[in-house]
Structure 1
Amino acid sequence: MAPTPILSVIIPVYNAERTLRTAIDSVIMQRCHDVEIVVVDDGSTDGSWGIIESYGDRIVALRQENAGASAARNHGARVGRGRFLKFLDSDDFLFPEALEKQIEHAKGLPEGAISFGEEVSWSEELGRVSSAGRTIMFPPGSARIDRFLTALPTISAWMYPRQLFEEIGGFDVKLALLDDFDFCCRAILAGCVPCATPTLIFAYRQHETPGRISRRKSPEDFASIMSMYRDFTRRLEASELQYSKDAVAKGLAKHCWVNARTAHRHGCEDIAREMFDIARNLHGDGVAGSPIYRVIEKIVGPIRAETIGAGLKSVVAGRRGTQ
């Protein structure tokens, strides 16, 4: 039997023929060679599977009926043999030496810690990096976890110990949105510690393809998100954290508030109202918005504040259009 690799990089794929080679090649070209690449085709209808097959035994190629990114990631994690797991979206790519440096960082962390690194946005239109990388340095016990939870690094920035991933239960396949946020929050609520490395890990592509589609969110999407926050509330009450419960509650409340505002903008007023209530129950200072918004919300409540804000934006846009 082949020796167990230190890392499995899992790439879920859906109709990504235009960017897939770049993603896979960015892993193959890493200096760290004790790495297994697991590519999971999630029922693609374009040429993605042909590209995957062309790599032969350099990768582990898996194919499944379309079930979503979370199901594909979980499938890859079950098949992958690495001590650590890393998930790379098929339209993102790693920077040179990223894996070597992050593996060393992850190996030096205490049990229950999760490594994450820096990310940058890559503009397809410009053909270059469009924003500077950022990392929220997060020492164990930091009270700033509330800020961390409102600006969580995206999934390709993380490297998970396999044992931890399995204990947390993998990604929730019922969530069409925020599945990576859900997993990281479940890990934190179980007592895990996110730890940053100042290493540039990957580039996140800014574009629209069939594999990363910007779409109008449905009431069902927001209902599942609302259930997620309710679950977080229950877990928080029962958890024994390494951080201040108040700080975690504040971060979750602000994140919930932001998504409640989004739900309202998508016409889901009843769901938005419930999500605002969940945020308030999580923390008394969970309102997320500008100082002006916070003043208006305090006077008229969140639903009317959203209506007033939308009206003001419409007036401003109309004036700009006449100039």
Structure 2
Amino acid sequence: MKLSVLINNYNYARYLRACIDSVLSQNELGAEIIVVDDGSTDDSRAVIASYGDAVTPVFKPNGGQASSFNAGFAASTGDVLMMLDADDFFLPGKLARIADIYTQRQVGWCFDRVTNDEAGLVPAEIAITPIDKRETMRAGGFPTLPVPTSGLTFHRSILSQILPMPLADDVVLSDNYLKFAAAYLAPGVLVETPLTYQRLHESNRYTNTDRAKSLKPQIMMATGLHLARRFDGLGRMGKSLVTGGIADAHLGMTDTLAEIDRVAREARGMGWTRQNLTTQVIRKRITGAARSLLGR
């Protein structure tokens, strides 16, 4: 079994070396390391070039994180693919633990929780929870998968059904699309023991930022619409994501109706009418208001 580590980078030169080194330092398995630079304007490309043949560079114009996922996957040859943001890094032993999981279990994906402790260590025993939410998702429900990009790994047979993924501005389509699609396509496992360090800093584009609250509805809408378009069985869940995003966006009546009209146009042919979208948005707003009054 061959591993591929797909590092996506945009203007994170100051963190990039620690990221790459965290993989090289435990690469006794011979994983290929693909570093996708998404049109950086800092010293990122010089850092990448300094590693010579130890990494496979992919230099591309700026196109957003989804385009970096697509480019990294296209350049990869591994059976198991591990995602890694350039400002994060893998804890010692992660590669071997992930390889063991895919060898011992018939799973399509494995997501591990992250830690914000830079000196974190992986214990001898790790906790693993099997997850199969395929029927729940077909019925319109959601899986709970609280793992960011750097904790995501996929078997190639699953990721090849997901990528290339649609492109979107900023971080509107990223790990949520990957996680939900994978959970719909195959059973997997959640590693409850952190195997990855997630760096929180002033340049985070989403995590731990003030922008997260305003971006969340956009992410919900874009993710739901594109998942429903791509996978026939995710129509109900996709509509629920879209209407939940509209309901949570705190738009006035005119803007809410305009957003519903936009979605109805983009979802033409999927049975998402202006009327049924409006009904779901109203229901979700009423439910949200009731929960707020009850303090829940």
User: Normalising to structure 2: TM-score of the pair?
Assistant: 0.72
Sort the Cα spacing of 1:199 and 1:171 in 2 relative to 1 into closer, same or farther, 3 A. farther
CA shift for structure 1 position 230 = 3.4
Aligned to 2:116, which of 116, 121, 126? 121
One-letter amino acid matched to 2:160: E
SS at match of 1:20: helix
Contact 1:14 1:43 in 2 (8 A): yes
Between the aligned partners of 1:48 and 1:85, the Cα distance in structure 2 is 23
User: Quick one: which of 57, 73, 76 aligns to 1:77?
Assistant: 73
Larger mean CA deviation between 224-233 and 19-28 belongs to 224-233
Select the structure of larger CA radius of gyration.
1
Shift of 1:296: 9.5
Q: Deviations over 1:141-168 (max 9, x none)?
A: 5988788635542121121111221122
What is the DSSP-based 3-state SS (H/G/I as helix, E as strand, rest coil) of the residue aligned with 1:202? strand
Letter in 2 for 1:42: D
The reply on whether 1:180 has 2:175 as its aligned counterpart is yes
Deviates more, 1:35-44 or 1:158-167: 158-167
CA deviation after TM superposition for structure 1 residue 22, in Å? 0.9
1:156 maps to 2:155: no
For structure 1, the residue ranges without an aligned partner over 5 or more in a row are 298-323
Kindly state the Cα deviation for residue 225 of structure 1 after the two structures are TM-superposed: 4.9
> Structure 1 residues 8 and 183, CA, compared in 2 at 3 Å: closer, same or farther?
same
Q: Aligned partners of 2:287 and 2:111: how far apart in 1? A: 25
**1:266-287: CA deviation from partner (whole Å, max 9, x where unpaired):** 9994279749x759749x7898
What percent of counterpart residues are identical?
25
- 1:140 counterpart = 2:132: yes
Gaps of 5+ in 2: 121-125, 264-275
Contact 2:134 2:183 in 1 (8 A): no
Q: Give the 5 Å matches for 1:168-247.
A: 168-174=162-168, 176=170, 177-189=172-184, 191-209=185-203, 214=209, 216=211, 225-233=220-228, 238-239=232-233
TM-score after normalising by structure 1: 0.67
Partner of 1:62: 58
Q: How many residues align?
A: 272
2:144, 2:278 → 1: CA distance?
13
Work out which of the residue numbers 31, 49, 52 in structure 1 matches 2:48: 52
Give the drift of 1:91: 0.5
How many Å apart are 1:41 and its aligned residue? 1.1
User: Counterpart of 2:250 in structure 1: which amino acid?
Assistant: H
Letter in 2 for 1:270: T
Q: Aligned-residue CA RMSD in angstroms?
A: 4.3
Kindly indicate whether the alpha-carbon contact (under 8 Å) linking 2:111 and 2:191 is maintained by their aligned counterparts in 1.
Answer: yes
Task: Answer whether contact 2:34 2:72 (CA < 8 A) is retained.
Answer: yes
